[in-house]
Structure 1
Amino acid sequence: MKSPVARLLAASALLPAFALAAPAQADDAATLTGEIIVTAQKRDQKISDVPVTITAWTGETLQRIGVSQFNELSAFVPGLNIQEQSANNPGFVIRGITSDSGSAQEAARVTVYYNGVDVSRSRGSYFDLFDISRVEVVKGPQATLFGTAAAIGAVSVIPNPVAEGLSGEVRGAIGNHGQRQLSGVLNAGTDTYGVRAAFAWKQRDGVVENIAGRGASSNAALPQRDLNGQEQMGARLSLMLKPLEDLRLDLVYSYDGQRSPGTAFKSGTLCPFGGDTSPFSFAELSGSPVSEAVFGKDELGLWRDVHDINLTARFTPEGSRWSTVHITGYREFDSLEVFDADGSGAWFLEFAEEAIGRQYSHESRVNFDGDGVRAFAGFNWFSERGSQSVPFSTEEGTYLQCVLGIVPGIPCVNADGVVTAAGVTSLLTGGAIAQIPYQSSFRNTGEISSFSLFADVTVDVGQWLELTAGGRMLWEDRTSFYISNQPASVLGGVPLLPFAGTGGQSFRADASNKAFLPRFNALARLADGVNAYATVSKGRRSPVVQLGARNTADGPVPNRTDVPAETVWNYEAGLKGARGPLQASLGVYLQTYDNFQVTVNEGGQLVSRNAGSARNIGVEAEASWRPVREVLLFGNLGWIDAKIRDRPENGIFANNRFRLQPEWQAAAGIDARVGVGGGLELFATPTITHRSRIFFEVPNDPAIAQGPVTLVNLRAGIGAEDGRWQLTGFASNLFDKDHIIDAGNTGGAFGIPTFIRGMPRLLGVEAAIRF
């Protein structure tokens, strides 16, 4: 078997061959996955002229292939994986680096940009993809382009702006599992002012039946909704004003909200009444019978609201080489998710998470576009206060029996799914007490304030070579707070969860840090429409001021752990070409990490740990080809060897693959459209996606991994050639492939891992009218 380095060298050898083989570019290749204009480097550029690895999809293209949310997008971007347990807990993964921690004390690793503003905080980063201009996924550290959270890359979503004229669209869909969708857009504008309103509503019944509290259930819990459903609403209002000919103001308000049923954290150990432990069969997640009092809601589910206001001012004097951009943003999110972490009918591990965040930001940038020199410079200010509160509910005898087995011979849940541990409290109290409810909680809070200066300059060295250098200087202040209430249990005499309370105190810890993050790029124009590029850049995830509590003889005291900044050096090279009916790119990269940060679940708390050194090496390729005008073929391929170094000092993490990152991933599709006369056309867009095995945790555990998964999707229908109307049938996971999207979770920290199934086959019909 070839070593990773041998594979990298073999892929590198293909680069000159591509430069010789690519034929000449046709303008109509931009119809799908073609030569679109991107703004990753803060100016309009053809994607083949950007000297970094970037994938871009227009909103129209995403609509054609049936992508309307983040987890669907990732299948079509090599090196990107997006896991969506729920809208409250998305995991963005670029080249093996995961950004999904809910702790307010930690920084993101992958930047999520919305309308030019960093919205990367995990619990506030999800939003629906409707009425968008394009999505740009930039890989590798890009500190000067996307801020400090872009330690390994960025996902930038640009909504459609207000346009001149009157136009609109209404789109609706129905399907199996109670799918109902409705979306619309209305735009009205002149050359000096305008308004654009858009919305999207989605609803789907749960795809995992939940028998808790129903006739087939073994207990009298409150009836729960079926799991892994969807109830989502997004809205956007955009106002445009040009008070001066050279000045454009865009004010955008966005809302994203969910009222979704619970997530199917189904136990792989404890079966439901009359059922089994398969993640693909029915569940019995009963939650807590005192949920209303402890969590504020009486059932499992997600209640989440996100509000975002963005003001962008662009001053572009006619005839001048100088321009300025000023972006001010405010974002707030408030989410409450109630979940059953043991994945069974037992009143055992019942949790909720309430995440609140308030973010303010401003960036000003000056751009220069001269003969042979292009540059930008500016400053950025960012302030955030957020908190993560986690209340816990259990029944004491049930918890002690399920965790410690204090009464021999009584299982937590027996083979028939009966919660036998529920009788332990009565046994221990001689029948005097049937149940002893127990509750505890902890809350971590983080305050972050940062200021940075950045600059970037590109110089043409002759007609065939351009060189870019830039950097960002960052100053950051971080404050962490922690408060925890962990009362002693009646039966055990000690707190049930394995961490200390704070005795009513709120602990605090402060730290300041600074860093300089450079990037260097080179672009060589080898031939008309064919470019080679190379880049070296540094990325950094901020140090973590991790604050908890520990018990001493004198009472609880702060337990502070300073996890050092994670740094990465990124080296990559590749080729991009757009000629004739073919557009393609091929890139290879090497990334080396120091102080690699991992998140592990310890007794119900997610904490950061320093796993030492790590390395990524990989290849990414994309291509689209139009053999005839009516047919476009497109595809991508990514291979990555992402591991923590096999060194003694890296301890239990040594030689483990990064979590949520397959070694191989690929996607391919066809967009075919044929006119049938009378102004009508038939169309079909089949797509296939594949990923190899992924691990859900570090250290890796094969028992909670997902093997290779290949999924087929299809969209086909009939419509007007001028796009005025369209009727589409759609199928995702056409062959109903069983797969899981996550495993381990909070239950795994107690030795009972839970599993979340992926979506089954979804079928439906969609109608659209445009004017």
Structure 2
Amino acid sequence: MKTTKPSVFTLSKLSLLVAVVMGNYAFAAEQREHNQIEEITVTAQKRNQSIQDVPVSISAYDGAFLERLGVAELDTLSEITPGLVIQEQSPNNPGFVIRGITSDSGSSQAAPRVSIYYNGADVSRSRGSYFELFDIERVEVVKGPQATLFGTAASVGALSVITRKPQEEFSAQIKGNLGNYSAEGLSGFVTGGNSQLQGRLAFSYRQREGFIRNIAGEASSQNPDGLNQEDMHGIERTSFRPSLRFTPHDDVTVDLVYTYEKNDDTGTSFKNGLYAPTGGNTSPYSFVEMSGSPMSLEVFGREDLGVERTVEDLNLTVNWDINSELTFTSITAGRRFDSLEVFDADGTQAWFLEFAEDATGDQFSQEFRLIHQGAKLTTIAGVSYFTEDGSQAVPFSTEESIFLNCLGALPAFGQPCISADGSVPILTPVLTEGAAQLLTYNLEFENYGDSDAYSAFVDVTYALNDSLELTSGLRYVREDKSSGYRSDAPNSVLTGSELFTVNTNGEIFRAEADYDDWLPRFNLLYVVNDDINMYATISKGRRSDVLSVTSVRGDDGLGERSVSEIPAEIIWNYETGIKGQAFDKSVNYNASLFYQQYSNFQVTLLDDEGVAFAADAGSATNVGVEAEVRALLGADFEMFANLAYLDATIDDDSTNGNLAGNRFRLQPEWTASVGMFYSTQLSQGYNLTSSLVYSYRSDVFFEPENAPISGLDISEDAVSLVSARIGIARANEDWSVSLFANNLLDNEYLVDAGNTGGGFGNPTFVAGPPRFYGVEFTMNFGEY
């Protein structure tokens, strides 16, 4: 695939927009006299600070900003945040990419790279990290290694979400929406209490039919009497969040938050790029014929394709202001997830690669910290404990002759995997000389990961004078890890051995190991004047060692334990930036330049049997620039824009093997977006509200090999998306009604390619959402 840069036309549009923004200030000075961008307070350094005073690269959005844009899903944050890409195949399989580094491994033996924090607690494990964005106080995206304050999982950055807390005054909201693809949604909250005890209940329900038609089970399909599969990418998501705030004393605040989420989505459309459905073609955007396994209920525990996922989260946070300078904080959190996804990995009507993933996890964390804020010296010190117990089981179902034929292992018979008329040749009667019509084959393999992490950290900031502030931080982490693997893989009738993986006869092979490290950071903040701050930072990040346990065939032909250790991935980040405001605080901006050097860069590859494994790709380098601006143009008009450039590759060194010189997967070189809010009075008591966002992403590779699979390109060209909202609201904001559209121009683009099918020579392609549109009605009550 060719490497594409932003076109001159695209960059010219962005330049023209910025020029128009700046030019308008000459005419809007009088109007903006009382218009200032509200200061955003963040907690990226574990204390309340203005975002301008934080000497790291951070993008932050309050809940009101997200609601004005209609942001309800994590992946939508990609459209407005430089250096961030969130890929959502399904809620079971999200990918978080910060500065080109992807964290999406489902293996219980591998550690995440990007910390996902929910109300101050780490929830980074991939299969449990997705959650709905509703009733949100603030989202912070912190870029660069943040291990000192966020823990070892934040090797390249952290995404922190803080939910709204209860308040004393009565307030409530109800919001409903209807849209195409039979979309329906209902959300809201109610809060109130007294001076000592306040409560809040927030909820969200969303459902929508799938946007990729699945003809499996229909009269025109190859299995008209089979299960009628639902259309792909449909959603049904239910969430609720009760919370309590107890203030027994003016100096003590106790927050208890429980979150429950249930996902019941239809399957992901893994469209085969080689074989078409009956009467169709191989375009990822046209209908599919994904019939799944006829033994799905028996083997996978679910009859149809799709995701059943439940997440529960309980968080207890205590803040005690011991005196005017000293604060104690305790965060106790537990999270449990259980996620079953049944998927057709070959994406065809053939009973070929039918899989499920049954992932479970239990997490518990405890952090204690003290913050002392003096006139010149601020000290943060604490200890934390994190424990996790997880497993990922992968059952598989196929018909033996179809499996072998579709892999190209039966060339003598000259039969295609799928015939031109869409039928699936079954060679079992020939191969068994009539002894059997079908040969059902099922197996299951499972990995396990238990981890206990103990940390102690200290972070000291000293103001040398009114202009210069120095920060030095250090975290020590010790990890006790246990990994396991089992495989129940019977011998195939046709081959006499397992179709793939090596059988352990149900025995769990285990291994244990301990690791530790020191993770420092050094920051410098220079206050140029009241409006401009400059900073520089050096920080170390670490993705934990991978203790990999699997099975291999021994000399006696039986499965035996194989243990390998992939060393910890180490990153050194060197960064400088500027943050400022102008035009009487009606404009704020920030820009950063960074250089990152990796050693033992960890990648996930697929072996010849389609099984994922961790590997050390050697050294890698990442150089980039990020910039953001937000501006108020008078009382009615607000704009924001961002731009990021990344040059991230595995070093082109012979010692780095076959991946040398390759770009990181899911890493666009360029991302950019421009957005606006416009509101004006229509008549007495009514206002017009609107928003518009344009986002751009350059080409990406979906696999670390950066190479075609079976002759098919596993990448995506540049993508541009537009979303818009327009509505009418009462001047007192007690109600509003809006029309909205996402992907307004109905552009076709890919979310992923290659996938599990690619490991078997049958790459599949996942289409991104088409245009969604609808109407939303909101009513507010009480103090809002």
TM range (shorter): over 0.9
Q: Partner of 2:78 in structure 1?
A: 74
Query: Could you report, residue by residue, the CA deviation over 1:162-206 in whole angstroms, capped at 9, with x for unpaired residues?
Result: 112000100000010111010010001222111000000010100
TM-score computed with the length of structure 2 as normaliser: 0.94
**Of 666, 672, 677, the match for 1:666:** 672
Letter in 2 for 1:709: V
Query: Could you report, residue by residue, the CA deviation over 1:299-356 in whole angstroms, capped at 9, with x for unpaired residues?
Result: 1010000000000011014x52101000000100001000000000000000000000
Query: Could you tell me whether the CA contact under 8 Å between 2:113 and 2:154 is conserved in 1?
Result: yes
RMSD: 1.9
Q: Partner of 1:10 in structure 2?
A: none
* 2:552 aligned with 1:559: no
Letter in 1 for 2:663: R
Letter in 2 for 1:636: N
Structure 1 residues 44 and 549: CA distance shift in structure 2, 3 A: same
Letter in 2 for 1:268: G
- How many correspondences in the alignment? 750
Letter in 2 for 1:720: R
Between the aligned partners of 2:324 and 2:672, the Cα distance in structure 1 is 45
Q: Which stretch shifts more, 696-705 or 76-85?
A: 696-705
Q: Partner of 1:720 in structure 2?
A: 730
Query: Could you tell me whether the CA contact under 8 Å between 2:659 and 2:705 is conserved in 1?
Result: yes
Q: Partner of 1:483 in structure 2?
A: 486
Q: Partner of 1:131 in structure 2?
A: 135
Between the aligned partners of 1:60 and 1:582, the Cα distance in structure 2 is 18
Q: Partner of 1:11 in structure 2?
A: none
Shift of 1:489: 0.3
Q: Partner of 2:295 in structure 1?
A: 290
Q: Partner of 2:276 in structure 1?
A: 271
* 2:741 aligned with 1:731: yes
**Of 575, 579, 585, the match for 2:578:** 575
Between the aligned partners of 1:150 and 1:26, the Cα distance in structure 2 is 41
SS in 2 for 1:427: helix
Q: Partner of 1:501 in structure 2?
A: 503
Shift of 1:553: 2.1
Unmatched segments (≥5 aa) in structure 2: 6-18
Query: Could you tell me whether the CA contact under 8 Å between 1:182 and 1:201 is conserved in 2?
Result: yes
Query: Could you tell me whether the CA contact under 8 Å between 1:210 and 1:224 is conserved in 2?
Result: yes
Q: Partner of 2:720 in structure 1?
A: 710
Shift of 1:604: 2.9
Q: Partner of 1:522 in structure 2?
A: 524
Q: Partner of 1:512 in structure 2?
A: 514
Letter in 1 for 2:534: A
Structure 1 residues 77 and 138: CA distance shift in structure 2, 3 A: same
Query: Could you tell me whether the CA contact under 8 Å between 1:171 and 1:183 is conserved in 2?
Result: yes
Shift of 1:69: 0.6
Query: Could you tell me whether the CA contact under 8 Å between 2:676 and 2:691 is conserved in 1?
Result: yes
Q: Partner of 2:355 in structure 1?
A: 351
SS in 2 for 1:74: helix
Q: Partner of 2:472 in structure 1?
A: 469
Structure 1 residues 133 and 263: CA distance shift in structure 2, 3 A: same
Query: Could you tell me whether the CA contact under 8 Å between 1:35 and 1:583 is conserved in 2?
Result: no
Query: Could you tell me whether the CA contact under 8 Å between 2:166 and 2:192 is conserved in 1?
Result: yes
Once the two structures are superposed, the pairs formed by residues 408-447 of structure 1 within 5 Å of their partners are 408-420=413-425, 423-447=426-450
Once the two structures are superposed, the pairs formed by residues 23-422 of structure 1 within 5 Å of their partners are 28-30=35-37, 34-219=38-223, 220-317=225-322, 319-406=323-410, 407-420=412-425
Between the aligned partners of 1:418 and 1:212, the Cα distance in structure 2 is 13
Query: Could you tell me whether the CA contact under 8 Å between 2:35 and 2:634 is conserved in 1?
Result: no
SS in 2 for 1:263: coil
Query: Could you report, residue by residue, the CA deviation over 1:509-553 in whole angstroms, capped at 9, with x for unpaired residues?
Result: 011010000001111111112100110000000000011001112
**Of 576, 584, 593, the match for 2:598:** 593
Between the aligned partners of 1:371 and 1:28, the Cα distance in structure 2 is 32
Between the aligned partners of 1:29 and 1:596, the Cα distance in structure 2 is 44
Query: Could you tell me whether the CA contact under 8 Å between 1:524 and 1:531 is conserved in 2?
Result: yes
Between the aligned partners of 1:228 and 1:139, the Cα distance in structure 2 is 31
Letter in 2 for 1:615: T
Between the aligned partners of 2:403 and 2:660, the Cα distance in structure 1 is 33
Between the aligned partners of 1:261 and 1:349, the Cα distance in structure 2 is 18
Letter in 1 for 2:699: R
SS in 2 for 1:217: coil
Shift of 1:26: 7.2
Shift of 1:48: 0.8
Between the aligned partners of 1:500 and 1:217, the Cα distance in structure 2 is 35
Query: Could you tell me whether the CA contact under 8 Å between 2:333 and 2:366 is conserved in 1?
Result: yes
Letter in 2 for 1:620: E
Between the aligned partners of 2:570 and 2:281, the Cα distance in structure 1 is 45
Letter in 2 for 1:54: I
Letter in 2 for 1:449: D
Query: Could you tell me whether the CA contact under 8 Å between 2:202 and 2:242 is conserved in 1?
Result: yes
Shift of 1:27: 7.1
Query: Could you tell me whether the CA contact under 8 Å between 1:206 and 1:226 is conserved in 2?
Result: yes
Query: Could you tell me whether the CA contact under 8 Å between 2:723 and 2:741 is conserved in 1?
Result: yes
SS in 2 for 1:64: helix
Query: Could you tell me whether the CA contact under 8 Å between 1:271 and 1:416 is conserved in 2?
Result: no
SS in 2 for 1:650: helix
Shift of 1:755: 0.4
Shift of 1:682: 0.3
Once the two structures are superposed, the pairs formed by residues 652-691 of structure 1 within 5 Å of their partners are 652-691=658-697
Letter in 2 for 1:163: Q
Query: Could you tell me whether the CA contact under 8 Å between 1:35 and 1:578 is conserved in 2?
Result: no
TM-score computed with the length of structure 1 as normaliser: 0.95
Letter in 1 for 2:518: F
Letter in 2 for 1:29: Q
Unmatched segments (≥5 aa) in structure 1: 5-17
Letter in 2 for 1:429: T
Structure 1 residues 251 and 26: CA distance shift in structure 2, 3 A: farther
Query: Could you tell me whether the CA contact under 8 Å between 1:478 and 1:545 is conserved in 2?
Result: yes
Q: Partner of 2:8 in structure 1?
A: none
Between the aligned partners of 2:550 and 2:36, the Cα distance in structure 1 is 56
Between the aligned partners of 2:240 and 2:34, the Cα distance in structure 1 is 34
Letter in 2 for 1:657: R
Q: Partner of 2:773 in structure 1?
A: 763
Letter in 1 for 2:717: G
Between the aligned partners of 1:710 and 1:66, the Cα distance in structure 2 is 18
Q: Partner of 1:13 in structure 2?
A: none
SS in 1 for 2:44: coil
Between the aligned partners of 2:206 and 2:77, the Cα distance in structure 1 is 17
SS in 1 for 2:627: strand
Shift of 1:461: 1.0
Between the aligned partners of 1:521 and 1:28, the Cα distance in structure 2 is 33
Between the aligned partners of 2:420 and 2:155, the Cα distance in structure 1 is 47
Between the aligned partners of 2:431 and 2:220, the Cα distance in structure 1 is 29
SS in 2 for 1:48: helix
Letter in 2 for 1:414: S
Shift of 1:35: 2.8
Query: Could you tell me whether the CA contact under 8 Å between 1:151 and 1:539 is conserved in 2?
Result: yes
